[in-house]
Structure 1
Amino acid sequence: MPNGITAIAAAKPPRPSAAHDAMTLPLVEPLRIGDLVVDPPILQAPMAGYTNYAFRQIVRSFGGAGLLATEMVNARGFVWMDKELAEHPDRLWGVADEPRPLAVQIWDNDPDTLAQVGARLAHEYKVSVVDINFGCPVRQVTEKAHSGSYLLRTPDRMGQIIERVVAACHPTPVTAKTRLGCSRDKINIIDVAQIVEGAGAAALTVHGRTAADMFRGEASWDLISQIKPHLKRIPLIGNGDLDTADKVVEAFRRWNVDGVMIARASLNKPWLFQQAAAALRGEPVPPDPTVEEERALMVEHFRLVCERFGEERGAVLMRKFACCYAQGRPGAREFRKHVVMIDTAREFFDVVATYFPKA
């Protein structure tokens, strides 16, 4: 990692935060997922195609995330690769050796397959948490594979899956991530939450949209908050639209949740966890990196990807990450137009030198 991205940020004058200026901060306790203590109770969301080992290393360099997570892993694909190719999915890159705590999210609709893979992750990889995806709204997962948020149509099936995975993974905690329901006229999250808890899950994460919403509109934190009184023993983690440190503080102050999960906003601000953790402690919020520091971060990210996948595939994979780094800066569109065409390391560095935003 570039030495001291965190140290550099800490050395610069911190910027004030509305949360820091407030006279009263919410009382935020560490999150307990089974025997695992997550402190601070700020989780990094699993995101397909993005939250791989390289991204997790970048987040870890800043700190502030109490629990990191892999991309979601197709359980059936894991079993097939293990049997046919004697290797494991790229989405498990780095998992065996990287620091803990670490969660791995799995998806499928078959209890036996999910239990088999969950057991491998818990007992062979020794991950901290096995999370089951009941929230992905993407057609390939829902309509084609009848998994992810598709299973919200059959909460009893969700319960069967959780029971099997919990038994297979014991004593490693098993959690569930879901949405409010299939659509706005079919919100069944209270029933789902009670089934998740009754089946033995150690925590529930709820994204404040329905499957039909995809990522449109605003997350409904008021509906997330209404779940808590119906849970007797497990923590509730809220997810959706947390893109600033102040919003994280506000989530704990205003809504009835035990933890929060940051998702898409972290792709172009992997330092957001550090900022949110500082705000929760009532400390000055570290500033965003300078353009030069952000460029160095992106270059390190590229190095990690190429180290694993080689220059040719690494360059292709880095296109989307590079676009995230430039997002929101003047000149981002021009940079994006060129960086999505790169095929080699030389092209990557030429585009960065020529088009990466200067301010």
Structure 2
Amino acid sequence: MPSFPPPPLRIGDLVVDPPILQAPMAGFTNAAFRHIVRQFGGAGLLATEMVNARGFVWLDENDAEHPDRLWGVADEPRPLAVQIWDNDPETMAKVGRRLTEEYKVSVVDINFGCPVRQVTEKAHSGSYLLREPNRMSAIISQLVKACTPTPVTAKIRLGCSRTQINCNEIARVVEEAGAAALTVHGRTAADMFTGNADWDRISEIKAHLKHIPLIGNGDLDSAEKVVAAFKNYNVDGVMIARACLGRPWLFAQAAAALRGEPVPPEPTIAQQRDVMIDHYQLVVDRFGEDKGTVLMRKYACCYAQGKRGARFFRTHVAKVSTAEEFYNVVDEYFPNAEVATT
């Protein structure tokens, strides 16, 4: 088993310390969310939402504004990863070059793990490409050439289904094509987000990599589980995903635990509500009150998750469309107890 506490993670020349990464999540990990995470600290590398490379090229060729998913990227602190997806090597390389030359991103990550049908079956991208290792190799190798010296990484799942697990083979393909790190979500595409992540499978992949680090992802929802991942499995880094959406302080808790320090307590309910309101203001400042309020609905539901009265709050906040309505619902219905009752 690896040493503990774990050393900093190295992705090419980039040092990620602590070796805890924030997962790219479509519809959630925008600049407002990343700002909140940075306020708490603890994340060694943050990431954008995944960006459709083909859509980016179209916007660029038509002199349109670049995607909202790149909001904040040019100016915010580093390190920062941008995740892109498509199945065409030349399109991916073109976008990668722009991200490194114009946006000066720290890492370009390739999404080979998204299981959503719109990305897989309709666009033959994301986890669909796990069945086409040669195309994956071409995408990675061309992107590496276009982005050098900025490191290129890849995120995959265990396979397309439980009867088509090929992560060991794919890991070798990813490394041989020149990627600087591999992140593995411990489910298959067919699993979507059901069941439990298979960390034993993730750990086994390490033996199939010669030089690049392995980052594990799946079901990390507490500082204790992050510590256990490093102690029990052969990974060089971990990536936290859905659990951080309503708990952006989770990274700071995990980082403290890795250092052997006392884990900071959960913020009080009042403090959590204040964080959510700050988050709301950032979104409204960018998108305006109408669009910002609608976008904030899903975040507000995340902040309430797991608390007594969360379902009642979700019912009401899902209908808000103005700032006044949002604040009224928060004042009247935001949960006031830590743990949901059974």
| TM-score, with structure 1 as normaliser | 0.93
Q: Distance in 1 between matches of 2:294 and 2:61?
A: 28
Query: What is residue 257 of structure 2 aligned with on the other side?
Result: 279
Q: Map residues 203-218 of structure 1 onto 2, 5 A cutoff.
A: 203-218=181-196
What is the CA-CA distance between 1:83 and the residue it aligns to? Answer: 1.8
- Paired residue for 2:267? 289
Deviation at 1:26, TM superposition (A): 2.1
Matched, 1:177 2:155: yes
Q: How is 1:221-300 mapped onto 2 (pairs within 5 angstroms)?
A: 221-300=199-278
Residue 44 of structure 1 pairs with residue 22 of structure 2: yes
- Equivalent AA in structure 1 for residue 304 of structure 2: A
Which ranges in structure 2 are unaligned for 5 or more consecutive residues?
Answer: 338-342
Q: Which secondary structure state, in structure 1, belongs to the residue aligned with residue 266 of structure 2?
A: coil
Aligned amino acid, residue 343 of structure 1? S
Aligned sequence identity (%): 74
1:306 is aligned to 284
Aligned to 1:6: none
Are 1:126 and 2:104 an aligned pair? yes
Which deviations, in whole Å up to 9, do the C-alpha atoms of 1:279-329 show, x marking residues without a partner?
000000000111111111011001000010000000000000000001111
Deviations 1:28-67 (A, max 9, x none): 0000000000000000000000000000011110000000
The residue aligned with 2:138 is: 160
Secondary structure, aligned partner of 1:206:
strand
Structure 2 equivalent of residue 17 of structure 1 = none
Matched, 1:322 2:272: no
Residue 81 of structure 1: how far off its partner (Å): 1.2
Matching residue within 308, 317, 321 for 1:339: 317
Q: 1:266 Cα deviation (Å)? A: 0.3
Distance 1:155 1:116 in 2: 21
Q: State the Cα distance separating 1:230 from its structure 2 match.
A: 1.1
Partner SS state of residue 226, structure 1: helix
- The secondary structure found in structure 1 opposite 2:245 is helix
The CA distance in 1 between the partners of 2:197 and 2:324, in whole Å, is 41
1:253 Cα deviation after fit: 0.2
Q: SS of the counterpart of 1:352?
A: helix
Give the equivalent residue in structure 1 for 2:116.
138
| RMSD of equivalent CA atoms | 1.0
> Deviation per CA, 1:133-158, whole angstroms, max 9, x where unpaired?
00000000000000000000101110
Using the alignment, how far apart are the partners of 2:24 and 2:286 within structure 1?
Answer: 20
Find the aligned partners of 1:160 and 1:112 in 2 and give their Cα distance: 9
Equivalent in the alignment of 1:12: none
Superimposed CA distance per residue, residues 206-260 of structure 1 (whole angstroms, 9 cap, x where no aligned partner) = 0000000000100000000001011111000000000000000000000000000
Aligned partner (choices 35, 38, 46) of residue 13 of structure 2 = 35
Aligned-partner residue type, residue 154 of structure 1: E
The structure 1 segments of at least 4 consecutive aligned residues displaced by more than 6 Å after TM superposition are none
Match status 1:147 vs 2:125: yes
Give distance in 1, aligned partners of 2:157 and 2:330.
38
CA distance in 2, matches of 1:326, 1:213: 26
| One-letter identity of the residue aligned with 1:340 | A
Distance in 2 between residues matched to 1:68 and 1:219, nearest whole Å: 22
Aligned partners of 1:314, 1:85: CA distance in 2, in Å? 25
User: TM-score, normalization: structure 2?
Assistant: 0.97
For 1:227, what is the secondary structure of its paired residue? Answer: helix
Q: Which amino acid aligns with 2:196?
A: E
- Alpha-carbon distance in 2 for matches of 1:108, 1:245: 34
Whole-Å separation in 1 of the counterparts to 2:222 and 2:272:
18
Aligned pair count reads: 336
Secondary structure of the structure 2 residue equivalent to 1:312: helix
**In the aligned structure 1, how far is the partner of 2:314 from the partner of 2:35?**
23
Shift of 1:85: 4.1
Cα distance between partner residues in 2 of 1:302 and 1:245: 26
Q: Give the structure 1 partner of residue 180 of structure 2.
A: 202
The alpha carbon displacement at 1:86 in A equals 2.6
Paired residue for 1:13?
A: none
Structure 2 residue identity aligned to 1:130: V
Which 5+ residue runs of structure 1 have no aligned equivalent? Answer: 1-24
Q: Secondary structure in 2 aligned to 1:60?
A: helix
